[in-house]
Structure 1
Amino acid sequence: ADTIAVGPLGGLLLDGSARLSRPAQMLAAVMDYHVGRWHTYNTGLLLWRTSAAAVARLFSLLANSTTRHQSDQTFLNGVYGERSQAVSILPFEWNAQTHVEVLLPEFWVNHSASLRVLHFTQRKGWECEEAHHLPKPLDLPPRHCGRSPGKGGRNLTVPSTDADCFCANGYRWWDAYRHAEGLYLGRVQDY
């Protein structure tokens, strides 16, 4: 899985119906930071008020779609657009997309203490080098990973081959993976 819990989930799970308080609201999700702005929503974690009729509608739309091979996120954003009355927006803490740590470092710092769910977006946790501790700070200029200054001072996203880019929280994925492995094998390990 590319999404892991890093904090208590009770506030969302026990209070989920409050997030879908209006009858028209079908799902609750966190906004997605994409192409330099917050728009659409990210499906790394979402609450969905469903029914047999709602599922039948989605399957019908999918069966009649000319773009059947799109992602779940693209499909659901098409069905329930970002301005739709059917969507309730959740706070960032419930689906903290890890690319935001690199692209909006100040925003990340301001929200990092309250994170509940991490969603490994740009680089998946298993793509990061296995580690079980916070990484050492990189001795690199700010915004090294995935950013470069463009015309007019705008930052442009660029691919990065640096092994540490987008992996600052990779250790959390590896901790969760090894813990689950230990549970499965009957030997839980602490790191």
Structure 2
Amino acid sequence: MTPQHTEGPDAHPDLVEVTVGALGRAHGIRGDVAIDLRTDEPERRFADGARLRVEGSTRVLTVESSRWHSGRLLVHFVELADRTAAEGARGLVLVTDVPSDEVPTEEGEYYDRQLLGLAVETTDGRAVGTVRDVLHPGPQDLLEITTDAGIRLVPFVEALVPEVDLAGGRIVVADVPGLLTDLADEPDQADEPA
């Protein structure tokens, strides 16, 4: 269950603030709101009774109920009693505090914050950089990795990232030509002695 903290993350150093969504258009007359999701776990973050803060404020919205409608999550908040209140809240960004050691419910899934700063190694153990960011441009997430050759974007798929070792503070990336270095920097296979 989502922690029900309304204090800022500084009040509890073992908590981190995460963005879970933004309020979209009002739906219907009773004040339901479409949510622009910013979480992979909407059922967890928008569970009945969850208390979510409006980003940058102490205002709290309490989830009374949620449901899926035509591929969108619709949420009714206790504090938004009707359509007028829901329309006035459009655009608000919702955050919550979660334990820093919380992990996703699905195995093999990771929160962005768990990956940031991890050392990056090739499959043969060569250190090549650090995870700088996790990007979500579309259907495929990308790891933004800082290397000696500059910033590299690596699709976050098992074929290219076969191992994530959170306890060891590292991820392993396949040593595919051109993925982590410029092709011009790769040794030419034809020049190597036979």
Q: TM-score, normalised by structure 1?
A: 0.29
**Richer in strand (by share):** 2
Structure with larger Rg: 2
- Higher RCO (CA 8 Å, separation ≥ 6 residues): 1
Q: TM-score, normalised by structure 2?
A: 0.29
